Amino acid sequence: MPQRHRAGRRHPRRTRLSPRRHVALGLVFLMGPLGQLSGTQGVALVGTVSDSLTGDPVSAVRISALPDLFTVTDSSGTFRLNGMRPGDYQLQIHKVGFAGRRFRLTVDNALSGEVSLGSIALLQLPSQVVSLSGQIRSSRTGDPVVGAPIGINGRPAALSNDTGGFAIRTINAQPGELNRLTVRRIGYKALDYDFWFAEQDSAVQLALELEPFAEKLPEITVEGERVVIGGARMAGFNRRMKFGLGDFLTRQQIDQINPKEVTDLFRRIPGFSVVGDGPARRITPHSGSCPAAVVYVDGVRASTDNLDLLLSPDGVLGVEMFRSTSQLPPEYSIAGAESSGCAVVGIWTR
């Protein structure tokens, strides 16, 4: 529901930007042909309302006989007000955009039936150009709300600046016509502000407040397998594995193989063999020109004759293998492995 409240105050039902004056173009005592309207059965007032300049009928005009009777004109400008009991009444005729009229009349108990008021002319008020400005702040902290889109009567009109201020320079409006100002900003409740301008208004200022709110997001569950990257030392290993040159074993794959010795990892890798017995086992590529692979442990070249003495399978985080110098990444080429012409094995530990 839109908020309708006075600028600078919160939650009254409706606001007026400035005091409104009742415009009475004529205060008429209904006498002459009407005399004193009378009737024990109640009197029905009938008549029409027209535009004083064009003579066209005016629909949706409110005709009220205070304290508690009212009706509205139909599309032909005709109205009928039933139930006028004996007594004094103030007849008010009103429609937004027209100057209102008032009549005072008395109904006595001498007459009944239908009494015609004839045609009542209303003067249409010209549109006025009004400027509207103001400031938007948080109702909780008082801080300015920056970058809030502001619309008026369904159309974009302004954007609040770095102090929460805004200005709408020219608004064509009828006095008394209802307008709606809308303010939207992520993180705040939407504000719909209904108001009307009085005849004397030319520049109006507003102080508006937006109520912050925290939007509850739906719960997000992320599922995945645990990946051990071994900190910054493993960044290069993970990057090379992403590019896909060479063969790689992760900690998870090592757990699946469940090797007794480190060299057992290479028995299942195409292009590599393990030769020798006991601690002297070596990793040998299937290349006749290279008796043993060049091995690096944590980036440092190591001996290939005692890997099972040097390392245990539980302490290995990852293994990378390159069968030829054409697969070698720059890191190993710089280390001198390229000049050896052999396959390269990189072992990374916890």
At 273, which amino acid appears? S
Superfamily of domain 128-210: Carboxypeptidase-like, regulatory domain (2.60.40.1120)
The separation between CA 283 and the C-alpha centre of its own chain, rounded to angstroms, equals: 62
Q: Whose CA is closest to 298, among 250, 346, 247?
A: 346
The residue written with tokens 């004397």 in the block is 200
Most confident of 176-180, 181-185, 289-293, 340-344: 181-185
pLDDT in the model for residue 212: 92
More confident residue, 23 or 3: 3
CA–CA distance, 40 with 148 (Å, rounded to integer)? 62
pLDDT band, residue 214 (cuts 50/70/90): confident
Most confident of 3-17, 103-117, 147-161, 266-280: 147-161
For the domain spanning 231-349, the CATH number is 2.170.130.10
More confident residue, 178 or 60: 60
> CA angle at residue 230 from 225 to 232, to 5 degrees?
120
pLDDT in the model for residue 8: 35
Q: Is the pLDDT of residue 336 over 70?
A: no
Distances (CA, A) of 305 to 144, 248, 277: 72, 22, 10
pLDDT band, residue 41 (cuts 50/70/90): low
Quick: pLDDT tens for 158-180. Answer: 999 999 999 998 888 877 788 89
Tokens of 208: 């508006």
Distances (CA, A) of 258 to 261, 270, 316: 9, 18, 12
Describe the strand order of the beta sheet including 78-84 as a list of residue ranges.
Answer: 78-84, 43-51, 113-122
pLDDT in the model for residue 231: 57
Q: Give the residue extent of every domain in the chain.
A: 27-122, 128-210, 231-349
Sign of the torsion formed by the C-alpha atoms of 165, 169, 172 and 176: positive
pLDDT band, residue 293 (cuts 50/70/90): confident
Out of 21-30, 200-209, 293-302, 332-341, least confident range: 21-30
pLDDT in the model for residue 337: 52
Which of 242-263 are b and which e, b meaning 16 or more Cβ less than 10 Å from the residue's Cβ? eeeebbbbbbeebeeeebebbb
pLDDT in the model for residue 5: 39
Out of 4-18, 149-163, 245-259, 279-293, least confident range: 4-18
Quick: pLDDT tens for 79-137. Answer: 999 988 888 889 999 888 888 899 888 888 876 788 888 999 999 888 788 889 999 99
CA–CA distance, 86 with 149 (Å, rounded to integer)? 56
Q: Is the pLDDT of residue 1 over 50?
A: no
| Fold: same for 27-122 and 128-210 | yes
Domain 27-122 CATH assignment equals 3.40.50.12500: no
